[in-house]
A and B are shown apart, each in its own frame.
Chain A
Amino acid sequence: QQQVKQSPQSLIVQKGGISIINCAYENTAFDYFPWYQQFPGKGPALLIAIRPDVSEKKEGRFTISFNKSAKQFSLHIMDSQPGDSATYFCAASGAGSARQLTFGSGTQLTVLP
């Protein structure tokens, strides 16, 4: 199975709050898990990525948590800001598939001022 399942579909958070987006995968050959941020009219921009040999990676206000046994990973946005309002996609790729990215269905995040 190549599918990556993402939830929730939409998320509304108050400024300063924590935004949490979850993803689950089936294919155990996946070994690279990036998160992309997409603004309207723009292409996806790489936010942060993780490999299964670590359980957590933090870059500024963005943290990926990875649970290899559960085949789940999540994005946490700390101190969410209105400028973070965008659509977020999780993705996965594996060495055996020429590094093609399999994307989740996306989460539309709205951060209220």
Chain B
Amino acid sequence: DAGVTQSPTHLIKTRGQQVTLRCSPKSGHDTVSWYQQALGQGPQFIFQYYEEEERQRGNFPDRFSGHQFPNYSSELNVNALLLGDSALYLCASSLGQKNSNQPQHFGDGTRLSIL
């Protein structure tokens, strides 16, 4: 039973570039949430995708966008990268968007470094 998988593991970009991060949810899960974790801090919610639509968004600018595919996998896109975007980007999957009985399972993240 594969857990949440994310790719790539590490990524180095320069300011102004754009990046795409990928996530495959845990088998049987249909909801994907993305979080940004700066060094030494707790994860911050970016947005959530369910039924291929963005359902909820945290306090992040429009430079952050995403997509969910019919197989429930998801992408996070960040445009016009800033130095402050350097962080660990975590994907979490769960079953049922509002099901309070289903926990969120996290992948090991993509470490994004902006030079």
Interface residues of A (CB under 8 A from B): 6, 31-32, 34, 36, 41-46, 49, 51, 89, 91, 95, 97-106
Instruction: Give how many A-B residue pairs fall within 8 Å (CB-CB).
Output: 64
- CB proximity of B45 to chain A, nearest CB, Å: 4
Once the chains are docked, how many angstroms separate the CA of A70 from the CA of B7?
A: 41
Chain A residues with CB below 8 A from B98, complex form: 95, 98-99
5 extra interface residue pairs, beta carbon distance < 8 Å, beyond A43-B107, A99-B104, A100-B48: A31-B100, A43-B90, A91-B42, A100-B56, A101-B43
Residues 92-111 of chain B, each 1 if its beta carbon lies under 8 Å from chain A, else 0: 10100111100111111100
Decide: B103 and A41 in contact? CB cutoff 8 A. Answer: no
By size class, the interface of chain B is 20 to 34
List 3 A-B pairs, minimum CB-CB distance, nearest first: A103-B42, A98-B56, A43-B106
Binding site for A on B (CB under 8 A): 4, 31, 33, 35, 40-45, 48, 50, 55-56, 58, 90, 92, 94, 97-100, 103-109
The residue of chain B having its C-beta at the shortest distance from the C-beta of A108 within the complex is B40
With contacts A44-B90, A89-B42 known, is A100 near B58, CB below 8 A? yes
Chain B neighbourhood of A34, CB < 8 A: 103-104
Q: A32-B100, A95-B98, A97-B56 are known contacts. Are A102 and B108 too (CB-CB below 8 A)?
A: no
Give CA–CA (A31, B101) in the complex, Å.
11
Contacts of A100 in B (CB 8 A): 33, 45, 48, 56, 58
Contacting residues, chain B, for A45 (C-beta < 8 A): 106
